[in-house]
Amino acid sequence: MAHTNLQTSPDPLSRCYDVALLDLDGVVYIGPDAVRGASEALATAREQGMRLAFVTNNAARPPTAIAEHLTRLGIAAEPDEVITSSHAAAHYLADRLSPGAAVLVVGTVGLDEALVERGLRPVYTASDDVAAVVQGYSPDLNWKQLAEGAVAIRRGVPWVATNLDPTVPSSRGPLPGNGSLVASLRLATGLDPVSTGKPDPTMHREAVQRSHAQRPIVVGDRLDTDIEGANMVGCASLLVLTGVSTARDLLSVSENLRPAFVSRDVSGLLVAHRAPEVDGARARCGAWRAERTGKGELRLAPAGEAGDEADDGAGDDVADDLDGLRALCGLAWHHPKVRTSDALRVTGQDEPAQRSLAALGLSG
């Protein structure tokens, strides 16, 4: 049997990793509200010795405002525990510009503070001395700011985007993110920015450096930013299903976007994890097995008698709520024709399997 990319952790992740690099939107909160159970889970992780760092591609607010927001939600946070894509962009520019250089800001105050911290000078019009343009997400971004950015960019100065996320999560569903706003300047100038946010390694290196992590684990809700970025810098990662990426997305994901662990939410930091094992047309994890059927279909079924369950060394106390999904991932990832199917169908052999699939959004 061959192990899949998902990993086994016989101990809770909070005892195996020293710092959780937590994405915010879709992981800790959605819009103004905390993800259900997040404050309690993160408080417990701290009690178990894990340090927390809050890492976001959203450059709209400075660390002080983000820390205050988290604290109001019942999640204790200090400004120096918050790392934003503004930090990564400012660091990138400071390494390439002279001290005191003027940088045109297309965004809000979060960018200003990060530039000043790195010895650069934020400006807001495309004056002749502008040495670079930096653009970050802002819900208040207007035409005038975009116009100033277009003028400077067309002169040929460096253009840095804090991230290229097309959307941001909200209680009303996905809304336009920085990538969508960057697209307007791409169209206006015919040029492309450098992006320093996730998944670019600049962002995760900044987070590791500022948090002084020795054994970090990235916790995120987006396969194409959080998880890919973690893989690019060699960090372990935990995908949570409270934000953008879904269980169905996970089944069809390419190798560079695969997490080490998966959980419904950040409480996954508090438990041990099994890894599925694959044997030909079957994969097994805990009390579940996944099977290939005709026409590329996957079927979830009970693993059999308790004594016949796969032994992956994770111990008897392993949380098994997502073992069915882990088994399905193990099988899909090892059979590319299944994984890349545009019409991947997952079925349950019996009523418990069907309920599990429905809870994961995998029915039909």
Catalytic residue numbers? 23, 25
- Evaluated on CA atoms 64, 66, 67, 68, the torsion sign reads positive
Under 8 Å between Cβ of 119 and 100 = yes
Q: Could you tell me which residues are beta bridge partners of residue 103?
A: 122, 132
Q: Rg of the Cα trace of the chain? A: 22
Tokens of 142: 């207007």
User: What is the three-state SS of the chain?
Assistant: CEECCCCCECCCHHHHCCEEEECCECCCEECCEECCCHHHHHHHHHHCCCEEEEEECCCCCCHHHHHHHHHHCCCCCCHHHEEEHHHHHHHHHHCCCCCCCEEEEECCHHHHHHHHHCCCEEECCCCCCEEEEEECCCCCCCHHHHHHHHHHHHCCCCEEECCCCCEECCCCCCEECHHHHHHHHHHHHCCCCEECCCCCHHHHHHHHHHHCCCCEEEEECCHHHHHHHHHHCCCEEEEECCCCCCHHHHHCCCHHHCCCEEECCHHHHHCCECCCEEECCEEEECCEEEEECHHHCEEEEECCCHHHCCCCCCCCCCCCCCHHHHHHHHHHHCCHHHHCCCCCCEEECCHHHHHHHHHCCCCC
Tokens of 106: 């297309």
Tokens of 257: 């976007």
- Evaluated on CA atoms 45, 46, 50, 52, the torsion sign reads positive
